[in-house]
Amino acid sequence: MTDATITLSGLRKRYGATDAVAGLSLSIGPGVTGLLGPNGAGKTTLMRMLATVLAPTEGQLRLLGLDPADPEQRTDIRRRLGYMPQEPGLHRHFTAFEFVDYVAILKEMTDTRARHQEVRRVLRDVGLDDVTGRRIRKLSGGMRRRIALAQALLGDPHLLVFDEPTASLDPEQRMRFRELASSLGQERIVLVSTHQTEDVAALCQRVIVMRDGDAVFDGTPAQLCAVARDRVWVADSRDVRARLWWRTAEGRHRHVGEPPPDAQLVEPTIEDGYLLLAGPTATDERAAA
Partner 1 sequence: MSWHVQSDLLERYARGEADGPTAYSVETHLPSCSECRGEVAAHADHARLTQIWDGIEERLDAPRRGPVEGGLVRLGVPEHVARLLGATHALRLSWLLACAVVLAFAVLAASRHEEGVVMFLIIAPLLPLAGIAAAYGPDVDPAYEVGLAAPMRSFGLLLVRALAVLATTTAMATVAALALPGLHWGAAAWLLPSLGLTLASLALAARMSTTAACGVLALAWVLTVVTAWRVSEDPLLVAGPAGQIVCGLLAVVAALVLVHDTDRFEQRGGLA
What does the binding site for partner 1 look like in residue numbers (CB under 8 A)?
Answer: 48, 51-55, 71, 75-76, 78-79, 81, 83, 85, 87-95, 97-99, 101-103, 105-108, 110, 112-113, 115-117, 120, 132-133, 148, 151
* CB of residue 253 to partner 1, shortest distance in Å: 43
Q: Which is closer to partner 1, CB of 106 or CB of 222?
A: 106
Q: Which is closer to partner 1, CB of 155 or CB of 259?
A: 155
* CB of residue 116 to partner 1, shortest distance in Å: 6
* CB of residue 254 to partner 1, shortest distance in Å: 39
Rounded CA separation 59/81 (Å): 21
The order of strands in the sheet holding 31-36 is: 81-84, 159-163, 189-194, 31-36, 206-211, 214-219
Q: How far apart are the first and last CA of the chain?
A: 36
Provide the 10 A C-beta neighbour count for residue 153. 20
Q: Which is closer to partner 1, CB of 56 or CB of 221?
A: 56
Q: Which is closer to partner 1, CB of 81 or CB of 204?
A: 81
158: left (phi over 0), alpha (psi -120 to 50) or beta: alpha
Q: Which is closer to partner 1, CB of 22 or CB of 77?
A: 77
Rounded CA separation 218/212 (Å): 15
**Which residues does residue 28 pair with via DSSP β-bridges, in sequence order?**
6
**Which residues does residue 30 pair with via DSSP β-bridges, in sequence order?**
none
* CB of residue 108 to partner 1, shortest distance in Å: 5
* CB of residue 168 to partner 1, shortest distance in Å: 17
Rounded CA separation 223/220 (Å): 5
Q: How big is the chain, counted in residues?
A: 289
Q: Which is closer to partner 1, CB of 157 or CB of 259?
A: 157
* CB of residue 273 to partner 1, shortest distance in Å: 32
